[in-house]
Amino acid sequence: MPDDRPDRHFDNDRIVYKTIRVEPLTPTIGAEIFDIDLAQTLTAQQFDEIHAALMRHAVIFFRDQQLTIEQHKAFGRRFGELDIHPTSRMAGHPEVIEIKADENSKYIAGEVWHSDVTASPTPPMGSILYMHQTPANGGGDTLFVNMYRAYETLAEPVRKMIDGLTAIHDGDRVWRGRQKKTVPGELPRSEHPVVRIHPVTGRRALYVNRNFTEQIVGLSRLESDAILDMLYRHSERDDFKCRFKWRPNSIAFWDNRCTMHQAMWDYYPQKRYGHRVTVAGTKP
């Protein structure tokens, strides 16, 4: 069942877990989920509890999972229709993105703080990354940041200033620009609120990122750059973050509507390989 329905009600204070065990990573963001086999079809209660943990912690992690590609996609589909990435599609499985780096890589996907594909008119609700191979000598962690807290800890005059503003998010600057990909046709470019309201929790979150956000609408480039840089530096504070250390057969499931993430490329020339499915979202 899709998450992006504004009629859903989420009560953080009434969560009781009966089918899973949830261990928070930090007080602010992230939790590991235990006592669940994601290769099996989830019961309604298991689904509800995993969904509740995601809503409470913004990103959740699972260890020691053994999933086929079809089981990975089936897990994602429990949360909504799967999104098709504008530029990266696995042969035979267009819903799957291969996340990979090795001795031939010139860059890695995700090394700049971002929320996934915010250039899309309907950015993804969430992303589910299943890591198959991790660097032999360590490294390759992923960092996540809580964008609710980033918004809520801004000074009140700043919150008042940015509430109601919108910004342009451009795919061309990422895929043809920084990543130098040869991509036929037009890439997505969209206008989204600088502060979005989460459709399930009702909380406000900052919704700009260094990767895709180009300019705040109605401001000069100088004004926009100054405000965006301040928001980026504020949101990347350590006390809003958690850090996940990958092991083979680990899964991270993050809510793109209220988080950003950054992949560490500190393992060159070691290899890192995984599959990601992305759950479709709605217009912010």
Domain residue limits, the chain = 12-279
Instruction: Measure the CA angle with vertex 56, ends 281 and 214; round to 5°.
Output: 45
Q: What pLDDT, in 10s, does the model give residues 109-132?
A: 778 999 999 999 999 999 999 999
Q: What is the distance between the alpha carbons of residues 149 and 251, in angstroms, rounded to a whole number?
A: 24
Sole residue written with tokens 């589910």: 128
Annotation marks residue 93 as catalytic: no
Superfamily of domain 12-279: Clavaminate synthase-like (3.60.130.10)
Residue 5 has pLDDT above 90, yes or no: no
pLDDT of res. 16 = 85
| Cis bond upstream, residue 269 (ω within 30) | yes
Give the model's pLDDT for residue 3: 47
> At 22, is the secondary structure helix, strand, or coil?
strand
CA 46 from chain centre, in angstroms, equals 22
Tokens of 225: 């750059």
CA dist 27 and 17 (Å) reads 18
Helices (H), 144-271: 147-152, 156-162, 172, 221-235
b/e per residue, 130-144, with b = 16+ CB within 10 A? bbebbbeeebbbbbb
pTM of the model: 0.93
Residue 274 in contact with residue 130, Cβ under 8 Å? yes
Give me the pLDDT at residue 182, please: 67
Residue 44 in this model has a pLDDT that exceeds 50? yes
Q: Is 276 a catalytic residue?
A: yes
61 has pLDDT over 90? yes
- Which residue among 114, 169, 173, 198 is the active-site one? 114
- The residue written with tokens 């990975």 in the block is 72
Q: Which of 116, 169, 192, 198 is catalytic?
A: 116
255, 44 contact by CB (below 8 A): no
User: How would residue 11 be classed by pLDDT, with cut points 50, 70 and 90?
Assistant: low
Single-letter amino acid, residue 23: E
* SS3 call for 211: coil
Kindly calculate the radius of gyration of the chain based on its CA atoms and give it in whole angstroms.
18
Average pLDDT, the chain: 92
Q: List b or e across 55-66, with b for residues whose CB sees 16 or more CB atoms inside 10 angstroms.
A: bbbbbbbbeebe
116 is known as an active-site residue: yes
Written as six digits, the tokens of 51 are 């969904």
Active-site choice (173, 261, 272, 275)? 261
9 a catalytic residue = no
